[in-house]
Structure 1
């Protein structure tokens, strides 16, 4: 069946009228990214979108943002994202770009060589006060009689409200506001035999919001092995042992010394009262004179009568 020339001409006219819609400045239009959304948890903001697919081709994406200041006071300018201009993956971490608690406009477009798509804009604008805050991860331990907590480090904007108490009827809850650097922190000195419980929640002052509380964790302190009085007596006994035992050993050594090796005492007549040197230095003349003065028995008898 032959197509009338008039119909063929009209179809060609429609085709030519559509070409300007597909070409702008001689550049073919790519499909624009769709389904833009922001997933935000604990002040980490991730912009995602549906990827543009072209068989055998790698598509790049450009991301731009516009805060309240740019929108109202700087002629509606758009600023390229610091991390994602361009990027090959259909997502962009815009955490560093969102610096105030105001609505932010975000937009994305696809690029393939010299071809670009139209911009797709996030609807509605994103405000970081909508972020989801989760309870902090925590580890509760004991160091002797010290209650110790270690909290997850979520960043410099985060503080934590830590609530702890001794588990007993009518116990009072204690609250501490802490910043975490991922290091253990002492909470309280615990009583022997008591059970202490801890829970925590996240606080971000920049958006004025709290998370829910973490699950409660409890630790128990062991009873003292010795009563205080018994421990005192044990200490005194130990000190006595340190003093008495060396003294007893010394005394026993002295007794054994006198028993096995007694000291010999010389009679007074055998003791030398003069210096031995003086005895040796006695002159010969004196010895001879002493010998000459010796009298016979008869002379002694006459002298006595």
Structure 2
């Protein structure tokens, strides 16, 4: 009896193992990393295995410190543990310039999938930096350069040069590390045109540059002409409007009659003086009619 039952138990165990392999939750697929302006976002595709509840995902990472010092341990992402979304922001988790191993797994109820690893490893140095928005304005005999957005941990190196200079020797250079900021570039030549360009620098590497913006420094006498002309025009128009309004409100009746006289109508428009003559054949004929009542039986 024991010899007969032993092979049967082995067969049942194999069948149970094969059934468990069929219904094991599949791992997430297509794990990719997108890094723009030092913002690192991990994305993946949900598993095709059906699940009666919402599939939850967990993300772990392993940097050089975890690999060498912590004996190859993995660290849970603080914002991506048992989350229903298929993306994870790892900007603040990946805090060094080392190569990171990253993995994600799915969970359906009490059943968890295998880990899906990002391949190849990710280093935040490979981020793509976009060109920042730069505004250049002429302010008197100088320039004002404004920035409102910069990538995280990046700097903008601002260079100013005179446009007519063939060698484009810089007359001003400065690096910007935080925004919003407005750089003042004083002491420029009146009537000359200057160009400004900014380069985004990350760890002493130039990753992107803005297009050159050129402005003309106005002469001192021209600086007050435009605002003075605008101010004078506004004052004159306001005075005219005030005079017209005051005249309408305070106009006396006898004065108003002098300006607003009533013209008499032309003689042809007086209806009482118009007589329409009719021809004899058009005259209405009227006869007196006598009605005789009828006698009823």
| 1:12-52: CA deviation from partner (whole Å, max 9, x where unpaired) | x999735414538xx95211001111111222111111123
Q: Distance in 1 between matches of 2:89 and 2:20?
A: 32
- Cα distance, 1:105 vs structure 2: 0.7
The 5 Å alignment of 1:1-305 reads 17=14, 19-23=16-20, 29-53=24-48, 54=50, 57-154=53-150, 157-170=153-166, 171-173=168-170, 174-205=172-203, 208-225=204-221
How far apart, CA to CA, are the structure 2 residues paired with 1:101 and 1:220? Answer: 43
Cα 1:86–1:142, aligned 2, differ >3 Å: closer, same or farther? farther
Using a 3 Å threshold, how does the CA distance of structure 1 residues 160 and 52 change in structure 2: closer, same or farther?
same
Structure 1 unaligned blocks of 5 or more: 1-12, 227-305
Runs of at least 4 residues of structure 1 off by over 4 A?
Answer: 13-16
- How far apart, CA to CA, are the structure 1 residues paired with 2:131 and 2:189? 28
* 2:53–2:109 CA contact under 8 A, matched in 1: no
Match of 2:66, SS state, is helix
Q: Structure 2: which 5+ residue stretches go unaligned?
A: 1-9, 223-297
Query: CA RMSD for the aligned pairs?
Result: 2.7
1:232-271 per-position Cα deviation (integer Å, ceiling 9, x unaligned): xxxxxxxxxxxxxxxxxxxxxxxxxxxxxxxxxxxxxxxx
d(CA) in 1 for partners of 2:17 and 2:183?
A: 68
* Aligned 8 A contact 1:84 1:92 in 2: yes
Count of residue pairs brought into register by the alignment: 211
Alpha-carbon offset, residue 128 of structure 1: 1.3
